[in-house]
Amino acid sequence: MPKETSEDLLFDKYNIRTDLALESHQAVIEQEGPPELPGVRVHTEQEPGITITRMVVENDLGARMMGKAPGNYSTIQSSGLREHNRDLHERIAQLLAEEIQWFFQESNLGDEDTALVVGLGNWNATPDSLGPKVLENLMVTRHLLELSPPELRQGLRPVAALAPGVLGLTGIETGEIIMGVVSRIGAKAVICIDALASRSVDRLCSTIQISDTGINPGAGVGNRRLAINRETLGIPVIALGVPTVVHAVTIISDALNLLEGNRDSERLTSGRTEFQIDPRAIMGGEKPAAPKANPSVDRRQLMSQVLDPYFGSMIVTPKEIDLLIDEVADVVTGALNIAFHEGVSYDEVFKYLS
């Protein structure tokens, strides 16, 4: 029988599935009520249209409460990521590059150390194609620097890229492929790009998370594979992900929370019962105060009746996901190119992408 993970415990307690540390933290605060969680530090910065949240899960207590491994998490949020706004996208890429460089420093990655960028996911499934998409315009330099004289290498890092596909396409665990490549090329760090699952449709393709805790391919859709982290590879692993899907069970759970929370505010109008519910809240916007428990309602039974037998594992994604993936992939690629290669200017990076 597989061991129950922290993410499973979070779902069992709050009926929420999310890969975002920020959402896990918010979910616990909403349900439990304390302004702070023991073992978790959060710092937020804002500028017009962009919010950066840095979170440190310091110990096992904080990790168990949030369902996330101990480590550093940075989240950049901007609704402008879902719009075709080149200026804003370039600004987000610059901020993302600064966060990535901070993780490089924390990992003691030298300027000339080889980095392996892994685009996780299935290029045949649009919501899962972010990783391979990012690699399309990545500035890969390892093969060039090996043949170049030292004076031409200034400001360029040796970078290799790999899109290993998924187990169903290759018959090989993604982690096993990465282990073999890391050993062969002598990479000093791995940067994994992957699509994530969110609890809010508002955050789909509008949020970018970076962490130093590694990644479990397929975990977002309940198909957890061999972990890719420092413990399995022996080198730092930086995970960069963007939510592209939401679990149907999470949407139903949030809707039930709102119904219970607003039941006391119902009123009769023209013989009909009205509930004061903001549809944006159901879709992941501002949440009302935590609802009072209703012992007469069996949450699991209600969700089971709504979703079974076929929809319990349903994954929801926007209809324009192909366009959203293209936009956010350019931002992530630009940020990686800036973070990797100090000798390349911002203008040159985005001219390369345009």
Res 291 pLDDT > 90: no
Q: How confident is the model at residue 2 (pLDDT cuts 50, 70, 90)?
A: very low
pLDDT at 240: 97
- Does residue 206 contact residue 131 with C-beta atoms inside 8 Å? no
Give the residue-averaged pLDDT of 23-27.
87
Please list, in sequence order, all residues whose beta carbon lies within 8 angstroms of the beta carbon of residue 47, skipping any fewer than 6 positions away.
none
Query: Torsion-angle region of residue 212: left (phi > 0), alpha (psi -120 to 50) or beta?
Result: alpha
Instruction: Report cis status (omega within 30 of 0) of the bond before 149.
Output: no
How many CB atoms neighbour CB 258 within 10 A?
Answer: 19
From residue 324, alpha-carbon distances to 304, 328, 342 in Å are 32, 6, 28
d(CA 203, CA 205) in angstroms, rounded, equals 6
Of 2-16, 47-61, 168-182, 245-259, minimum mean pLDDT range = 2-16
Please list, in sequence order, all residues whose beta carbon lies within 8 angstroms of the beta carbon of residue 269, skipping any fewer than 6 positions away.
none
Give the residue-averaged pLDDT of 81-107.
93
Q: Pairing state of beta strands 159-162 and 189-198?
A: unpaired
Average model confidence (pLDDT) for the chain?
81
d(CA 184, CA 194) in angstroms, rounded, equals 23
The structural domains of the chain, ordered by start, are 6-247+318-353 (3.40.50.1450), 250-315 (no CATH)
Sign of CA dihedral 146, 119, 201, 61: negative
pLDDT at 155: 77
Torsion of CA 21, 23, 28, 33, to 10 degrees: 130
Q: How confident is the model at residue 95 (pLDDT cuts 50, 70, 90)?
A: very high
d(CA 349, CA 339) in angstroms, rounded, equals 11
Candidate ranges 50-54, 87-91, 229-233, 316-320; pick with highest mean pLDDT:
50-54
Name the nearest CA neighbour of 197 among 54, 316, 326.
316
pLDDT at 119: 95
Q: Pairing state of beta strands 159-162 and 115-119?
A: parallel
Name the nearest CA neighbour of 335 among 76, 151, 145, 142.
76
Q: Which residue has the higher pLDDT, 215 or 155?
A: 215
Give the residue-averaged pLDDT of 322-343.
92
Which pLDDT tens digit goes with each residue over 261-275? Answer: 665 455 444 444 444
How many CB atoms neighbour CB 57 within 10 A?
Answer: 27
Give the residue-averaged pLDDT of 76-97.
93
Name the nearest CA neighbour of 199 among 351, 331, 5, 30.
30
Name the nearest CA neighbour of 155 among 345, 344, 336.
344
Secondary structure of 66-127 as H, E, C letters: HCCCCEEEEEEECHHHHCCCHHHHHHHHHHHHHHHHHHHHHCCCCCCCCEEEEECCCCCCHH
Look-up of token digits 């061991």:
3
Res 294 pLDDT > 90: no
pLDDT at 225: 65
Q: Pairing state of beta strands 237-247 and 189-198?
A: parallel
Q: Pairing state of beta strands 71-77 and 40-47?
A: unpaired
Give the residue-averaged pLDDT of 33-59.
89
Res 346 pLDDT > 70: no
pLDDT at 65: 84
